[in-house]
Chains A and B, each alone.
Chain A
Amino acid sequence: MATQSVQTGQAPPEGKAPLTAANLGPPEGGRTKVKGTLPYLLLLPALAFTAIFLGYPLVTNGMLSFQNLNMTQLIQHVTEWTGFSNYSDALTSDTFWRVTLRSVIFTLINVVIIMIGGTLIGLLLAKLGPKMRLLLSAGLVLAWAMPIIAATTVYQWLFAQRFGVVNWVLAKLGFSSMADYNWTGGQLSTFFVISLLIVWTSIPFVAINLYAATTTISRELYEAAALDGAGAWKSFKNVTFPFLKPFMMVATFLEVIWIFKAFPHVFAINEGGPDRLTETLPVYAFVEGVGNQHYGAGAAISVLTILILLALMSYYLRIVLRQEDAEDADGASAGPGEKKS
């Protein structure tokens, strides 16, 4: 999860989970062929728990989305089926599409920054001497390990209107209008704080894992490239990059999924405010469903969000499964799995 991979994940710390599903140590290849029910019995507890506590709420979520369920129905325990009206309401409302577009842009911007920043820092780690590398990794690990809600309160304090250190620095740098700037008062400035927080917590995962990937590249490949007269850029393009590409693809997809569904970061900074202008899809579903007590409508929004996530995940799973196939074929493990959170 982290990384949460470290992954995470994540949970990453939730969201921070580890990069790992498929990947830890190389399995020794040999799995014994077993007849009978033993493997299924061993898997039964895990599958049963997952079915009850993950599967059942998912089904419930689907059923709720077809109900008219507000405060009245909730208190009286009545079930009013309304067909697709929650969906048609959501899909014909401007707000839903605005929030969806906002979520997509938010995710894209953060993922691009995280992947570029993480890659550059990972390559920098590879270039450093042992002492500086240890120092920088220690800093990265500290940011990575920081619990999300602790981090959100710290960022609120860093960006506090009065006595916040960020405003003080900006004022000192000559932006005197920033001396008492209210960061959570506007849409873009709130998103700036949220993004900075997300980037700060996510880059270490990418950087450290990417650095670990570079250590698996054989020196001889670089020597061969140098013999062929390749410069720094060429040897990066022809040697380093092809090695890192599988990791980077998986990491990109994981980040897309994690950030698209990020809830605590967005919610804890400003609860989707000001004026609900920083609500992303998960926060929107929460505020509509729980905050405004339109549970049915909220459930419909969350089903739509889950469908978007499923589309993103299916692509990710395709990559990972292909790596799992390769593993089965050559007996060595490959391919990253999942993080935090």
Chain B
Amino acid sequence: MRKSLLGRLWPNATALVLFLVFVFPVYWMFNTALKPNGDILSETPVWFPTSPTFEHFKTAVNAENFWTLVRNSVTVTVVAVVSSLLIALFASFALARMRFKGRKSMILVFMVAQMAPWEVMVIAIYMVVRDADMLNSLLPLTLFYTVMVLPLTVLTLRNYVAAVPKDLEESAMVDGCTRTQAFIKVIFPLLAPGLMATSLFGFITAWNEFPMVLILNKDAEAQTLPLWLSKFQTAFGDDWGATMAAASLFAIPILLLFLYLQRKAVSGLASGAVKG
């Protein structure tokens, strides 16, 4: 009896400890962002923001160019994700619905491209962009991010397209739709959840991208939020409250998006992920 109580207790206790370990850094970010400076620079850590303040968020938001950078990040990310979804839609349709010579090699191309070591290619990318005289511009960033998220978008979307029953499309065509109409009226609405889930990872990749903007856009007004955030602490002389507020502002959109979409995305990815 006693043993079984212990047997039930230890998994729960371990889970609780692990939960705290995984959540703590995120919690500490918000906690620090909300505490007044006196509580941050204290010899004994203040574990809860008992006297919350939005001072640090004000410092972060009022930092030079903050809103320009927000606009840059949002533009680059949204345009890249939407363009790659559009391009991928055509490709994934071909891969999911048609049989043709070279289909497998095409899939292989996207699998290899998916693992492209962008981090290691920044020197060449710098030269290419410099020769095109496009340093400090958002256009090259957007184009590279589009291609960066494209392979995963194609590969993921192809499974969503394949999951839409073919009969639906065929009966729409029997009812007099053209193939294009059938696609727009029947398949597209069914694909919407797949498109959302697919865009999540593209969004995260583009929103987070750091090495490329680090080398391409030195101009303070042409940067994006990750670069700004990585320099924030130095720029603000160890103002940890403001740094954590800046980190929170940067993380919140992703955390919300992830919480909103993860059930769908993760379960979709996972359900196919494993099956021997």
Chain A proximity mask over B78-97: 1 for CB below 8 Å, otherwise 0: 00000000011011011111
Cβ–Cβ < 8 Å partners of A290 in chain B: 122-123, 126, 215
Q: How many residues of B contact A (CB 8 A)?
A: 115
Task: Assess the B259–A145 pair: CB atoms within 8 A.
Answer: yes
Task: Say whether B150 contacts A341, CB under 8 Å.
Answer: no
Smallest CB separation, A79 vs chain B (Å): 11
Give the number of chain A interface residues (Cβ < 8 Å): 136
In the complex the two chains form, is A135's CB within 8 Å of B108's CB?
Answer: no
Known: A10-B205, A268-B210. A208 touches B124 (CB 8 A): no
**Residues A333 and B272 in contact, CB atoms below 8 Å apart:** yes
Q: Is the CB of A282 within 8 A of B15?
A: no
Residues of A within 8 A of B44 (CB): 168
Complex alpha-carbon distance, A321 and B240, angstroms: 48
Across the interface, do B96 and A149 meet the contact criterion of CB distance under 8 Å? no
Chain A residues closer than 8 Å to B12, beta-carbon distance? 128-129, 132
The answer to whether B273 and A163 have CB atoms under 8 Å apart is no
A200 to chain B, nearest CB (A): 7
> In the bound complex, what is the Cα–Cα distance between A132 and B10 (angstroms)?
12
B119 adjacent to A334 (CB under 8 Å)? no
Interface string of A187-227 (1 = CB under 8 A from B): 00000000000001001100011001100100000000000
CA distance A268 to B211 in the complex (A): 10
Nearest Cβ on chain B to A34's Cβ, whole angstroms: 4
Residues in B with CB closer than 8 Å to A110 are none
A239 smallest CB distance to B (angstroms)? 13
Roughly how many angstroms separate A333 CA and B271 CA in the complex, as a whole number? 10
B113 touches A50 (CB 8 A): yes
A6 with B243: in contact, given A257-B115, A282-B117 (CB under 8 Å)? no
Given A12-B204, A42-B91, A145-B262: A53 and B124 within 8 A (CB)? Answer: no
CB < 8 Å A-B pair total: 441
B98 touches A32 (CB 8 A): yes
Q: Chain A residues with Cβ under 8 A from B108's Cβ?
A: 317, 321
Listed A/B pairs (21) with beta-carbon separation below 8 Å: A3-B201, A10-B204, A16-B201, A23-B269, A25-B271, A42-B90, A60-B128, A133-B15, A145-B255, A157-B29, A157-B243, A163-B43, A243-B276, A264-B208, A281-B120, A306-B120, A317-B108, A334-B276, A337-B273, A340-B204, A341-B148
A contact set with B: CB distance below 8 Å: 1-14, 16-28, 30-34, 38-40, 42-43, 45-47, 49-50, 52-54, 56-58, 60-61, 64, 121, 124, 127-129, 132-133, 135-136, 138-158, 160, 162-163, 165, 168, 200, 203-204, 208-209, 212-213, 216, 242-247, 257, 261-264, 267-268, 281-282, 285-286, 289-290, 295, 298-299, 302, 305-306, 309, 313, 316-317, 320-321, 324, 332-341
